[in-house]
Structure 1
Amino acid sequence: MKKVLTKLLISALSATSLTLLVGCTGDKTVNSAEQNTTDKPNIVLIMTDDQGHGDLGYHNNPIIQTPNLDKLAQQSVRLTNFHVDPTCSPTRAALLTGKHSLKAGVWHTILGRYMLGPEHVTMAEQLQQNGYTTGIFGKWHLGDNYPYRPQDQGFDEVFIHGGGGVGQTPDYWGNTQFDDTYYRNGKEEKTQGYATTVWFDAAIEFIEQNKGKPTFTFIPLNAPHGPYRAPEEYITPYLEKGLNRSMASFYGMITHIDDQVARVQNHLKQSGELDNTIFIFMTDNGSSYRPTKNDLSLTKGHEHLGEKYPNWIPNSGMRGYKVSVFEGGHRVPFFLSYPNGKLAAKDVTTLSAHYDVLPTLLELAGLPASEQDIDGTSLVKAMRQGTDESLKDRAVVVTNQRVYHPDPTRPTAVAKGDWRYIEEYSKQFLFNLADDPGQQNNVLEQHPLVAVELQNIKHQWWSDMKKAGFKDRYIGVGYEQENPVRLNAMDWMEVPEGQAVPWFIGHQAPADEWDHVHWLTKEDQYQALPWYIKAKQAGTYRIKPYYHDIPAGTPIQKKYCVIDANGKIYVERVWGRASHCVVDVQLQAGEQKISAWYTDNKKQLTKDKAAFYLYIELLSE
């Protein structure tokens, strides 16, 4: 409660008044913790990763098998014009805060640009304040260290992998989606079985343990994000249909999710909780399974599928996939079922977005509206009546930044009514989806006034976004909430032009389309770069840099370990086949930089080998 009120004060002092939604404003009613918890609905929110609009049987895909999700869709309010960001972390930030992702300070998936600052009050915190027990199971990807972790952002129970996917650099060393080690409330926990099953097992256990109390169960899955891996029994049926292994694995991951959705629904039904549960299924961006990726064909050999399934229109006929600001990159499924809410199953065509989910849930749950400066608006009226005239003139802006500092020239789309205005680098497009749902005919020259109107909306939006400040994020060290702190190379900062960040390790042979990104055995391509840290207090901090993470036990095979602590250099001898060194350094309180590497050259301290992991601990005085 104290933490939420502190956040509210911070937000109130820095709030901006301009909303991103033209023609509507965010709700500003003050929350109250004095709520009766007995009749509040439970909330289950399932969000898959990289599953596009067309990757569902319900959306006329004749190949994929998703019978349980298809049934859920039939029983739900379906937002058919629902938009998210083109990549995962920005979508998560907007979903949980009710703000545009840029205003929430999240615009990338690496480089610290994915960390959700503690000044933002999340959906979990607002529900927690109103009597809910909250849990997250799966993928967080909004910060792996204090103060950005889910346990710092309103979740009572946390069971997640690290980073943006299983096996990425922040994750536990050696994870492959099978029999992995994950993090429960910040502690390592060994598991058995396939990752998606593990998340749903934990979510169901959480629901059961808190039966009779209002719960928010957030299940943001890592699947079907690549590398595409699933239990073999889910892959084989698609191989038998003639799909290559990559596509068969991607579809197998989704069919496995479909079975798990049925499991949690059946549990709720058997426990008598299903009717009083707001049950949501959505995805975080467009499909990652697209015709080509990095000039590699993903559908090679699939020409026969068009002959076998002549009515199949891949990607729901939309242009663009994940990372694209064309429609296929950000229009995604959204199904909401709430039997006690008396919401009839229907299509709702109102233009809507991820930041609408927070105010919608608060209204459906009978809770006070958010007092935050949010960009979303409740969709309950549209869900009940099929439309909401007050929203007919709204606009939604979608951007794909993925750069160190946000840039107004990066790809951006403005949606208003049937119009889509797109700026993509030096090109401009205008499409009318009523006539051209596939966005094939640029009609900008025929409708210049429409283009100017939407361009002005984009300029207004950018002016509002700049007020947020686009802050650097610093990882807390020396705080009692997390001491020691484990840093990893996905959070390196100040990356030179042309150098990538080592974000995917590659513990087992990845699928062909992922082979180009793994850094294991390619370590010499990376030079040590700084982490941004914020020391709670001045004092002695013990530094342990590792070439590979602790479980690997990989020997350094260099003579000297070098620490650059905010410009002060420390050098320590490395002995034998040691996997790390130990260096005690003096840090002042506040924001600073730290980097670590290994060398054989004591005189010039050349950066021969980067430390991809670094543990830092405040020593007791």
Structure 2
Amino acid sequence: MSKRYALAKRLQEKSGLSKSHVGKSHRFGYQPGMQSALRNLSVFLCALGCFIDQAEVRAKAPNIILVITDDQGYGPVGRHGHPWIKTPNLNKLYDTSTRFTRFLVSPTCAPTRSALMTGRHPMKNGVTHTILERERMTLKATTLPQVLKQAGYTSGIFGKWHLGDEEPYQPHKRGFDEAFIHGAGGIGQAYNCSCADAPGNKYFDPIIRHNGSFVKTKGFCTDLFFTAALGWIKAKKDNETPFFAYITTNAPHGPFIAPPKNTKRFTDLGFADKQAGFYGMIENIDENMGRLMGKLKDWNLYKDTILIFMSDNGMTGGGSGRLGQAVAKGYPFFNAGMKGLKGSADEGGVRVPFFIRWDDHWKAGRNIGTVSAHIDVLPTLAAIAGIKKLPEEQVEGRSMLPLLTGEKKTLSDSRYLFTHKGRWKTGAEPNNFQWINYAVRNQRYRFVGGGTAISVSERQRKKGISPKDALFDMLKDPGQRTNVINEHPGVAAKMRAAYNKFWTEARPLMVNESVPMSPTRPFHVWYKQQTQSTGIPHWKAPEL
């Protein structure tokens, strides 16, 4: 018996309508009880109609799984041309997905995450850094899980939050029904402010904050985050309402520590420990993507579930190696021909993978070259879920759904996307840093402001060489080798003016610039309180 039929039968019974009332007609005139029966029939049909409408809406709202890695960037994926990384599961997802080949985020992690949660530029969320209270996303923002609740979604986060460690900023207070997270921007981090993880935390057997209480886990952090997410998905998959699972690894962020079997593959090849850890973490992520994709197949969820894979900023330096130098003998450094890494306003600092798969709905194996961004995720997922009401005066992004369905081949190329590294010294006036470490992007050009490494290196700047603005034709010169600003001064002037307008709008919304540093680290305080009261229980891993 279908759920729809079962509910209809219950409505019939409650209405007092029997089979004798439904489907039979009386030949002549009024019959005793007919008026009441007809009234009940009317109520029954209205209720059934409402149910059918709701069922149809629900049928159009798929489950959503968004996986975001930390500091991986665009390059270390086999299908992106990487010559030696082994990512068979990401390769498979690439083959079965629609790929946005120019998907742009922010140069560092907390800013990107705030844009995903709100659909607007990070600085307008108050996020101008990754620590020192400036990673906290304004409490006035409406978050992605809160928007999805309009369509009945249940939401869970597993891994890195990094948008505020004080209680009002925590994810279980901001729309997530399930929260299985570490604190700060990385496991074990602690700064002289509220941004801090549980004291002494490690990548293996970490302490995790689970729905507001700490638990002791057993295993490697990335494995644990995927296991917790899979257990939650298993519990939710047969519900009538859809789920949103946000799986957000802290890997391959430093310190570069991977499971021994993943590290050993690289140390055996002659890699140094840091690089073995970095690339080992990526191959471990790939293994976990294989676990996730396997369970989606086993649970027959692919036709009802959208799967997204992305990273939060460009590939990190140090752990990945150095540009122009082999990572190990016979293993060249690879950044997909791009200039810039994490923290840069160049293309390589902000371009990431974006694979999105929904079987039987969107054609697989497609590349979409329309420049898209982190601010587009919220309006896209809202459109997919049939949500028409978005937070007023908040969402700046645009829906990518017409591109996914094939309704449109491209979107307007008149839009500008803005990048700023942020991270100026705490207490400094942001306006003094407006014109350095920034960039403007549209479909064709990237304008990079003077003071960034793209036009003059740090070494050159120390020698007194003045930085200059630069303009690059990204269609002809994706590696940003030739400055064409003299050939297109009008293009550069328009982009600079658009950026100035953006900054003027964003500056009043940078709400964390003058706040005092928290005298306590909330995760440390809560951990001590729980240790002294109930203790830290062991987390029981779900049966999968």
- TM normalised by structure 2 equals 0.77
Name the structure, 1 or 2, with higher relative contact order (CA <8 Å, separation 6+): 2
Could you say what secondary structure the match of 1:317 adopts?
A: coil
CA distance in 1, matches of 2:353, 2:523: 43
The one-letter amino acid of 1:133's match is: T
| Runs of 4+ residues over 6 Å off in structure 1 | 543-549
Correspondence 1:598-617 to 2 at 5 A: none
Map 1:394-409 onto structure 2 (within 5 A): 394-403=415-424, 404=426, 405-407=429-431, 408-409=434-435
- 1:61/1:313 contact within 8 Å kept: no
Deviation at 1:473, TM superposition (A): 8.1
Q: Which residue of 2 aligns with 1:70?
A: 91
The offset of 1:463, in angstroms, is 2.0
SS of match in other structure, 2:306? strand
Q: Closer, same or farther in 2 for the Cα pair 1:303/1:380, shift >3 Å?
A: closer
Q: C-alpha distance in 1, partners of 2:501/2:354?
A: 28
Which letter does structure 1 place at the counterpart of 2:518?
W
Letter in 1 for 2:111: P
Equivalent residues of 2:362, 2:404 under 8 A apart:
no
The SS at the match of 2:209 is strand
The DSSP-based 3-state class of the residue aligned with 1:248 is helix
Paired residue for 1:345? Answer: 365
Structure of larger gyration radius: 2
Q: CA offset at residue 103 of structure 1?
A: 1.2
Give, as a single letter, the amino acid of the residue that structure 2 aligns with 1:253. Answer: M
The alpha-carbon deviation at position 216 of structure 1 amounts to 0.4
The alpha-carbon deviation at position 91 of structure 1 amounts to 0.2
Matched residue, 2:35? none
Match of 1:162 in 2: 183
Determine whether 1:335 maps to 2:355.
Answer: yes
The 5 Å alignment of 1:300-311 reads: 302=326, 305=329, 308=330
Is the Cα contact below 8 Å between 2:157 and 2:247 reproduced in 1?
Answer: yes
User: 1:440 — aligned with what?
Assistant: 481
Corresponding residue of 1:111: 132
Give the AA of the match of 2:106: D
How far apart, CA to CA, are the structure 2 residues paired with 1:319 and 1:116? Answer: 29
2:229 aligned counterpart, secondary structure: helix
Is the aligned partner of 1:531 residue 2:511?
A: no
Q: Would you say the 8 A contact 1:247–1:298 is kept in 2?
A: no
Query: In 2 relative to 1, CA 547–471 (structure 1 residues): closer, same or farther, beyond 3 Å?
Result: closer
Determine if contact 1:108/1:402 at 8 Å carries over to the other structure: yes
Q: What is the alpha-carbon distance in structure 1 between the residues aligned to residue 523 and residue 247 of structure 2?
A: 33
Q: Give the count of matched residue pairs.
A: 451
Per-residue CA deviation, residues 395-423 of structure 1 (Å, 9 max, x unaligned), is 21111111235331231111112211011
Give the match for residue 229 of structure 1: 257
* 2:338 is aligned with 1:288: no
**Aligned partners of 1:544, 1:347: CA distance in 2, in Å?**
44
Equivalent residue, structure 1, for 2:248: 220
1:449 aligns with 2:469: no
| 1:367 paired residue number | 387
Distance 1:390 1:198 in 2: 39
Q: Deviation of residue 424 (structure 1)?
A: 3.7
Match of 1:444, SS state, is: coil
Letter in 2 for 1:266: G
Offset, 1:135? 0.3
Over 3 Å counting, the alpha-carbon distance change for 1:440 and 1:157 in structure 2 is same
Q: Distance in 1 between matches of 2:407 and 2:189?
A: 42
Q: What is the match of residue 25 of structure 1?
A: none
C-alpha distance in structure 2 between counterparts of 1:545 and 1:95, whole Å: 24
Distance 1:196 1:438 in 2: 33
Residues 147 and 410 of structure 1, relative CA distance in 2, 3 Å threshold: farther
Aligned to 1:585: none
The answer to which of 334-343 and 272-281 deviates more is 334-343
Q: Does 1:416 align with 2:442?
A: yes
| Cα shift readout 1:158-197 (whole Å, capped 9, x = no counterpart) | 0000100011111111211001111001111000000001
Note if contact 2:142-2:391 (Cα within 8 Å) is conserved in structure 1.
no
**In the alignment, structure 1 residue 153 sits paired with structure 2 residue 174:** yes
Q: 1:472 aligns with which of 503, 508, 512?
A: 512
CA–CA distance in 1 between the matches of 2:354 and 2:327?
A: 31
2:162 & 2:209 partners in 1: Cα distance? Answer: 13
- Work out whether 1:356 is the aligned partner of 2:397: no
The answer to whether the Cα contact below 8 Å between 2:275 and 2:319 also exists between their aligned partners in 1 is: no
Q: CA deviation at 1:262?
A: 1.2
Q: TM-score, normalising length from structure 1? A: 0.68
Residue 152 of structure 2 corresponds to which residue in structure 1?
A: 131
Change (3 A) 1:66 1:549: same
Q: What 5-or-longer segments of structure 2 have no aligned partner?
A: 1-52, 191-195, 452-466, 533-544
Q: Give the 3 Å change call, closer, same or farther, for CA 299–548 of structure 1 in structure 2.
A: farther
8 Å Cα contact 1:351/1:394 also seen in 2: no
Cα distance between partner residues in 1 of 2:358 and 2:524: 49
Aligned-partner Cα distance in 1 for 2:524–2:398: 47
Q: 1:198 to 1:119 in 2, by over 3 A?
A: same
Q: Is the 8 A contact 2:323 2:333 kept in 1?
A: no
SS at match of 1:414: strand
Q: 2:202 aligns with which of 155, 160, 176?
A: 176
Question: Cα offset for 1:382?
Answer: 1.7
AA at the equivalent of 2:232: F
Distance in 1 between the 2:183 and 2:109 partners?
A: 14
| SS of structure 1 residue aligned to 2:335 | helix
- Alpha-carbon offset, residue 531 of structure 1: 2.1
Residues 76 and 344 in structure 1, CA contact (< 8 A), matched pair in contact too? yes
Counterpart residue type for residue 469 of structure 1: L
CA distance in 2 between counterparts of 1:144 and 1:303 reads 36
Q: Percent identity, aligned pairs only?
A: 38
Q: Secondary structure at the match of 1:47?
A: strand
Give the whole-Å Cα distance in 2 for the aligned partners of 1:125 and 1:547. Answer: 28
- The alignment partner of 1:409 has SS state of coil
CA shift for structure 1 position 71: 0.8
Query: What letter corresponds to residue 97 of structure 2 in structure 1?
Result: S
- The separation in 1 between residues aligned to 2:385 and 2:363, in whole angstroms, is 13
Structure 2: distance between partners of 1:545 and 1:201: 23
User: Which one has a larger percent strand, Structure 1 or Structure 2?
Assistant: 1
What is the root-mean-square deviation in Å for CA atoms of aligned residues?
Answer: 2.9
* Separation of aligned partners in 2, 1:136 and 1:90: 17
Q: Which amino acid aligns with 1:471?
A: V
Q: 2:107 aligns with which of 52, 76, 86?
A: 86
- State yes or no: 1:121 paired with 2:142: yes
Rounded to whole Å, the distance in 1 between the matches of 2:354 and 2:346 is: 18
